[in-house]
A and B are shown apart, each in its own frame.
Chain A
Amino acid sequence: MSAFIKAENVIVDFPIYSTPHRSLKKSLLKIATGGRISSDAGGAVVVRALDGISFDLQEGDRLGLTGHNGSGKSTLLRVLAGVYEPTGGRLSVQGHIASLLDISIGMDPEASGLENIFLRGLLLGLSKAEIQKKTKEIIDFSGLGDFIDLPIRTYSSGMSMRLAFSIATSVEADILLMDEWLSVGDADFVKKAEDRLKALVNKTPILVMASHSPEILKEVCSRVMRLEKGKICLEG
Chain B
Amino acid sequence: MVEKATDDIRSSLLAYPLWMTLGWQDIKQRYRRSSLGPLWITLSLAITVLTMGFLYAKLFHQDIHTYLPFLSVGMVFWALISSLITESTTVFIGAEGTIKQIPMPFSIHVLRMIWKNFIIFLHNMVVVVGVMFFFGVNPGFNLLLFPLAVLLIMLNGFWVAILLGIIGTRYRDIAQVVSSIIQILFFITPVMWSPASIQNKLWIMEWNPLFHLMTIARNSLLGGSVSLVSWGVVAAMAALGWGIAFRMLVRYRSRIAYWL
A83 contact from B171, B177, B257, Cβ within 8 A: B257
**Which residues of chain B are near A122, meaning CB under 8 Å?**
17-18, 21-22
- Give A106 to B174 CA distance when docked, in angstroms: 26
- By Cβ-Cβ distance, the 10 closest A-B pairs, closest first, are A82-B103, A24-B171, A85-B254, A105-B101, A110-B32, A22-B172, A102-B101, A23-B173, A122-B18, A83-B103
**Which residues of chain A are near B17, meaning CB under 8 Å?**
122, 127-128
**Which residues of chain B are near A196, meaning CB under 8 Å?**
none
- Is B101 touching A23 in the complex (CB atoms < 8 A)? no
- Give A133 to B32 CA distance when docked, in angstroms: 27
User: In the complex where A27-B171, A105-B97 touch, is A14 in contact with B258 (Cβ < 8 A)?
Assistant: yes
Q: Residues of B at under 8 Å CB distance from A?
A: 17-18, 21-22, 25, 28-29, 32-33, 97-104, 167, 170-174, 177, 254, 257-259
Nearest CB in chain B: distance from A226 CB, A = 25
Known: A81-B103, A127-B17. 9 other contacts (CB 8 A): A22-B170, A23-B173, A24-B177, A83-B257, A85-B254, A85-B257, A105-B98, A111-B32, A119-B25
Least CB separation from A81: chain B residue:
B103
**Which residues of chain A are near B33, meaning CB under 8 Å?**
110
Q: Count the A residues whose beta carbon is within 8 Å of the partner chain — how many?
A: 31
Least CB separation from A14: chain B residue:
B258
- Is A25 touching B173 in the complex (CB atoms < 8 A)? yes
The proximity string for A residues 73-96 relative to B, scoring 1 for CB distances below 8 Å and 0 otherwise, is 000001001111100000000000
Q: Residues of A at under 8 Å CB distance from B?
A: 14-15, 17, 22-25, 27, 78, 81-85, 99, 101-102, 105-106, 108, 110-111, 118-119, 122-125, 127-128, 151
- Give A222 to B72 CA distance when docked, in angstroms: 67
> Number of A-B pairs whose CB atoms are under 8 Å?
71
B257 contact from A84, A106, A111, Cβ within 8 A: A84
- Give A39 to B252 CA distance when docked, in angstroms: 25
- Give A27 to B170 CA distance when docked, in angstroms: 11
- Give A115 to B99 CA distance when docked, in angstroms: 21
Nearest CB in chain B: distance from A20 CB, A = 11
Name which of B17, B99, B103 has the most chain A CB atoms within 10 A of its CB: B103
Least CB separation from A86: chain B residue:
B254
**Which residues of chain A are near B21, meaning CB under 8 Å?**
118-119, 122
Least CB separation from B95: chain A residue:
A106
**Which residues of chain A are near B97, meaning CB under 8 Å?**
102, 105-106
User: In the complex where A84-B258, A110-B33, A111-B25 touch, is A78 in contact with B100 (Cβ < 8 A)?
Assistant: yes
- Is B99 touching A83 in the complex (CB atoms < 8 A)? yes
**Which residues of chain A are near B22, meaning CB under 8 Å?**
119, 122
**Which residues of chain A are near B18, meaning CB under 8 Å?**
122-123
Name which of A81, A102, A123, A125 has the most chain B CB atoms within 10 A of its CB: A123
Ordered by A's residue number, 18 sampled pairs between the chains whose C-beta atoms are within 8 Å are: A22-B173, A25-B173, A78-B100, A81-B101, A84-B257, A85-B254, A99-B101, A106-B97, A106-B101, A110-B32, A110-B33, A111-B28, A111-B29, A118-B21, A119-B25, A122-B18, A122-B22, A123-B98
**Which residues of chain B are near A111, meaning CB under 8 Å?**
25, 28-29, 32
B173 contact from A24, A101, A108, Cβ within 8 A: A24
**Which residues of chain A are near B177, meaning CB under 8 Å?**
24
- Is B174 touching A123 in the complex (CB atoms < 8 A)? no
- Is A83 touching B100 in the complex (CB atoms < 8 A)? yes
- Is B32 touching A15 in the complex (CB atoms < 8 A)? no
